[in-house]
Chain A
């Protein structure tokens, strides 16, 4: 057990360092390598960050839904912990998306908020994930909590494509895809990879912590000792 634990710890540190290195690379690419955008100037560089965290929050929501389905089928509590971890990091990324989007909107259009389809969909996702946590916090029993929140996660996952469609159509039928300089595309790709790696790392770390908490809780229950 101890050897296994130290292998996992070393693994986590190694990945952490790799992610940090990726961040250094991305940082350089975003601030130095990426060309300065003609109309907006340097502020446009926010987009690399904004799109990356948006992608991560979506990935988190999808992971939450899929692991929830796995829990309902398998009934292994580890799946429920994956679901919770993915939802948490997803929610964190959704918050960052809204914040960076809002900052960008302020610079670009002089307004802190705009009902632009992507931001609107992200806000809905943020609220849905918040609801998921509220539901979880209202249920004491571990198995019941896992089961009910898994159902909600699946409903949310099924809903996401329709939310995206609805918000996209709401603001005109033609989504605007920004024309990107090939160098910008490379930077965006690097940024996406970096943030995805970070997202995966954080989810794994959080899930491990939830595993630990579950073991503590089960031991406390068995022994009757409260630490």
Chain B
């Protein structure tokens, strides 16, 4: 029974760890993306509007 429990426990913790890691990475990436998009947005507001646009 111990072996069975170990197998399930290992699988479960592997999946949970991976999902947690994914979530954390996602959060960090989102923050970076928001910061970059804000910077790009700010840049575009300050750029003088060209005639072609």
Contacts and interface: CB of A to CB of B under 8 A. Distances in A.
A and B touch in the complex (CB under 8 A): yes
A46 B7 contact: yes
A interface: dominant SS: helix
Contacts of A99: 7, 10
B1 to A, nearest CB: 5
Instruction: Place the interface of chain B in its size category.
Output: 20 to 34
A213 B29 contact: yes
A42 B7 CA distance: 12
A223 B33 contact: no
B interface: dominant SS: helix
A134 to B, nearest CB: 20
Nearest to A227: B32
A212 interface: yes
B52 interface: no
Given A99-B7, A99-B10, A106-B3, 10 more contacts: A45-B4, A49-B7, A95-B14, A96-B14, A103-B7, A216-B32, A219-B36, A223-B39, A223-B40, A225-B39
